[in-house]
Amino acid sequence: MDNFILKGDIVFSKSMTELEISESSFAVCENGICKGVFKTIPEKFSYFPVKDHTGCLIIPGLTDIHLHAPQFPFCGTGTDLELLEWLERCAFPEEEKYSDEAYAQKAYSAFVSEMIKSGITRACIFATVHTKATEMLMDMLDKTGLVTFVGKVSMDRNSPQSLTEKNTDDLKNMLCNIQGKYKNTFPIITPRFIPSCTDEMLDSLCEIRRSYSLPVQSHLSENPSEKELVSKLVPDSDFYGQAYDMHSLFGFEIKTGERFKTIMAHCVYSDDEEIKLMSKNGVIAAHCPASNINLRSGIAPVRKLLQSGVPVGLGSDIGAGHTLSPFRAVTDAVQVSKLYQRLKDHDARPLTFAEAFYLSTHAGGFFGNIGKFCDGYMFDALVLDDSASRPLYPMTAAERLERYAYLFTDNKGIKEKYVNGKAVYLQNSV
């Protein structure tokens, strides 16, 4: 049933700063595409079935553009560790387990089941270096109906032996294997980050990217010592992002002039030059506030990125971030922006709730036309039952959404979830 109408209190971002609110209204979906929001159902859609969610909030799906699926099992532990100790004691030992297909099956099942119940409709995901486990994750995710990009991680230096590879042959084989296989899940070129990739690997990834027309995801300027390491490893680069750009992995293909979608996670220490190139190349910053706190990285200059024309989306960065809740990512983004202003730059106006909500629902443009219930947009939607917050007096739908985001961080109240007009989650059928 791809033609239907949702009735409820509809909220979405009219612009980056303003919410459009239509209480007790109808959002129309035709063949997976939104036809708009109406106070009364237009004649031509009158035969569409109406799902009546009167009293519930209806909002666009939220997104998560940076997370590590294999790190899901240890979320919320190891929070006292710093980055390097954390990598050695939590992240790498866990990722090594995915060479075991039985373990991968069990762990990825738990992850996918949590993804279905969450407020996330679309995501960009790091897997591990292991191709079999990565394909298994893609198989599982494709079936959910969520739109996902999954990267087999590429890394060939400065990492545990068991997680490095000699070349990109495995990746090439995998991409060949899965061609045309999935409807909702897609591959993405995923160098772990500059410190763990040689020039040869980066050049090879660039070629693969070009021949398959794939997007790219990686990490950028997460913390000061990482940034320093990159400047030592790539002495020719003026800034971290240039080390990707030299290999045409930073939103722009030098040889052909082609532009392609690239997500760079963190950008906490991106300087003016780096920000300028991101803006020029359309590189999307994945802002991961919880992870940046937990690993003591700091706070990304989101206001500056936005003002410089860099598209920004939000990421949970599971497992350095501790929760998949995209609502928590929204409120964390607001909260850290307040501390950034107070402690770092008095001129950096904090993000409003509406702005952070926009970042999550629009994902920096990575997924195309999403985030609005406007004619022609893809119909991704969440139906939220916020009645458990029991307000004592009438609140506007915008206040209720703000309250929901701050108070319901545990999937509570997520009643239905749609992606491209297909039901991905229906509470009562679970």
What Rg, from alpha-carbon coordinates, does the chain have?
A: 21
Give me the least distance between CB of 10 and a copy of itself, in Å please: 19
Structure tokens that stand for 367 in this block: 């997924």
Which CB atom, from 176 or from 430, has the smaller least distance to a copy of itself? 430
Give me the least distance between CB of 226 and a copy of itself, in Å please: 14
Q: Which of 147, 146, 125 is nearest to 217 (CA)?
A: 125
Q: What is the DSSP letter of 79?
A: T
Give me the least distance between CB of 408 and a copy of itself, in Å please: 7
In a 13 Å sphere around the CA of 341, the CA atoms on its Cβ side amount to 12
Are 138 and 150 a contacting pair, CB within 8 Å? yes
Which CB atom, from 158 or from 341, has the smaller least distance to a copy of itself? 341
Structure tokens that stand for 134 in this block: 């990565």
Which CB atom, from 214 or from 351, has the smaller least distance to a copy of itself? 351
Could you tell me the CA-to-CA distances from 265 to 217, 284, 347 in Å, in that order?
8, 8, 24
Q: What sign does the dihedral 327-328-329-333 (CA atoms) show?
A: positive
Give me the least distance between CB of 403 and a copy of itself, in Å please: 4
Residues at the site binding a copy of itself, with contacts judged by CB under 8 A: 73, 75-77, 79-80, 103, 106-107, 110, 293-294, 296-299, 322-323, 331, 334-336, 338-339, 341-344, 350, 352-353, 389-393, 395, 399, 402-410, 412
Give me the least distance between CB of 103 and a copy of itself, in Å please: 8
Alpha-carbon gap, residue 179 to 186, rounded angstroms: 9
Which CB atom, from 341 or from 427, has the smaller least distance to a copy of itself? 341
Q: Which helix (H) or strand (E) holds 109?
A: helix 101-117
Which CB atom, from 75 or from 378, has the smaller least distance to a copy of itself? 75
219 Cβ contact list (under 8 Å, min separation 6): 192, 193, 264, 265, 266
Distance of CA 192 to the CA centre of its chain: 16
Core vs surface per residue 409-429: b (16+ CB within 10 A) or e = bebebbbbbbbbbbebbeeee
Q: Which helix (H) or strand (E) holds 65?
A: strand 62-68
Which CB atom, from 183 or from 342, has the smaller least distance to a copy of itself? 342
Which CB atom, from 121 or from 297, has the smaller least distance to a copy of itself? 297
Which CB atom, from 193 or from 404, has the smaller least distance to a copy of itself? 404
Give me the least distance between CB of 294 and a copy of itself, in Å please: 7
Alpha-carbon gap, residue 82 to 228, rounded angstroms: 17
